[in-house]
Amino acid sequence: MQNHSGPIVLAHRAYWEPADFKSEMLAIEETIWSMVGLTYDIPNDNDYITLMVGEKSVVIQNFKGELRAFDNVCAHRLSRIRSAEKGNGPLRCPYHSWVYNAEGRPVAIPHEKEAFDFSETERRDVHLKKWQLALCGQFIFIRGSDQGPTLPEALGDTFAPLSEISNNLVREIDTFTCEYEANWKICVENTLDEYHAQFVHPTTFRPMLSGDFVYSYDGRQSKVEAGITEKNTERWQRIARHFETRAIKTDTYYHYLVFPLMTVASTFGVSFSIQTFRPLTPERTLLTSRLFLGVQGPSSIRGVEESLGNSAKEFNRTVFLEDKFVCEQVQLGLKQRGAPRGVMGKFEQRLMHFQKSALEVFDYK
């Protein structure tokens, strides 16, 4: 990417037009690998999580150590199977008690002989719709279609560092959700915008980042690495001395975009913030942020961990609430009749890359 200004690539209507939103959701459901959780979330037999991918409800379940993903819709009378976001139990439909195995096939159908008397062929045709599932370290990714690049091919050179990060999410200290009245692309683009940090985040990013940004690109993924001010470097060095056993050691802040709906950020390799963006409607987005420490220290530094965790939690929540305001203002501005095309500069080059990737992937009208 060259460091010069350029126009906003996407048409304004792509941020609110229902037809464009529908096109995006179809691609997210079928052709794009989506990160849906961590293996830590479902470690035991019959553990499950349920979530929306695009506009589809999907269940991811542990079957004796094997992870599987299916449409959360029973093959019998099309009831949702899971209603809870997470839990433990056989994959059993609550309507007529059909139970499914790791292949998505019914293994228990009450009164099967009397009610259905399936032939062998008919029974083979009764099954849940299966999703492709692959791991990047401890991150779980799924995709609706069995066609297209594998997960390592899709992530390219980002696969290895992402896997390493996932293997070092030692202790989860916070989960935060926030609904933005803005299109999902505005929310993602905001996280790729270093330019706004000094103005919108006066107590968090402005005093922390030195402004030395190094950008890199890998297919549709992108990364920025930023220097930390001298004052904050000294603070983080003092903190890092308590966590010398951490596997990822750096003296910078870095931020990855895993196209299109996931970001990963870390400071000094001590704390990690994992964000996912769920499009709800063309003009509403749900942000979920999970905050981790990258090491579990001895009991003698538990107080340091607690203090760091509280500080990181307050930092993240402050940033996201400040971002909520500006994202919603951008949504309003884009919809105003006669709004200018807009322009992006050097510190918004990751936005240009993201928008060009969106044009390649999504079938905008």
Q: What is the C-alpha R_g of the chain?
A: 22
Across the chain, mean pLDDT equals 94
Q: How confident is the model at residue 322 (pLDDT cuts 50, 70, 90)?
A: very high
- Per CATH, the number for 32-147 is 2.102.10.10
E strand intervals along 161-208: 171-180
Kindly give, in sequence order, each residue whose CB lies less than 8 Å from that of residue 238, ignoring residues fewer than 6 positions away. none
Q: How confident is the model at residue 328 (pLDDT cuts 50, 70, 90)?
A: very high
**What pLDDT, on a 0 to 100 scale, did the predictor assign at position 211?**
80
70/293: higher pLDDT: 70
151/1: higher pLDDT: 151
Q: How confident is the model at residue 3 (pLDDT cuts 50, 70, 90)?
A: very low
Label residue 355 exposed, middle or buried (CB < 10 Å: 0-12, 13-18, 19+): buried
- Helices 184-191, 302-335: axis angle to 10 degrees equals 130
Reported as a single tens digit per residue, the pLDDT across 122-161 is 988 999 999 999 999 999 999 999 999 999 999 999 999 9
Give the residue from 292, 299, 248 showing the smallest Cα distance to 274. Answer: 292
Kindly give, in sequence order, each residue whose CB lies less than 8 Å from that of residue 74, ignoring residues fewer than 6 positions away. 80, 81, 93, 95, 96, 98, 128
Q: Order of strands across the sheet with 284-293?
A: 171-180, 284-293, 271-281, 262-267, 253-258, 221-228, 209-218
Reported as a single tens digit per residue, the pLDDT across 244-287 is 778 888 899 999 999 999 999 999 999 999 999 999 999 999 99
E strand intervals along 94-160: 99-100, 106-108, 130-136, 139-143
Q: Give the length of the chain.
A: 365
Share of the chain above pLDDT 70, in %: 97
Q: Is the pLDDT of residue 330 over 90?
A: yes
Return the structure tokens found at 182.
């803005």
**What pLDDT, on a 0 to 100 scale, did the predictor assign at position 87?**
98
Q: What is the value of pTM for the model shown?
A: 0.95
Distance (Å, rounded) from C-alpha 277 to C-alpha 270?
A: 23
97 torsion bin: left (phi>0), alpha (psi -120 to 50), beta (else) = left
Reported as a single tens digit per residue, the pLDDT across 168-179 is 998 899 999 999
Kindly give, in sequence order, each residue whose CB lies less than 8 Å from that of residue 83, ignoring residues fewer than 6 positions away. 50, 94
Please report, for the chain, the start and end positions of each structural domain, with discontinuous segments joined by +.
32-147, 156-361
3-state secondary structure of 337: coil
- Per CATH, the number for 156-361 is 3.90.380.10
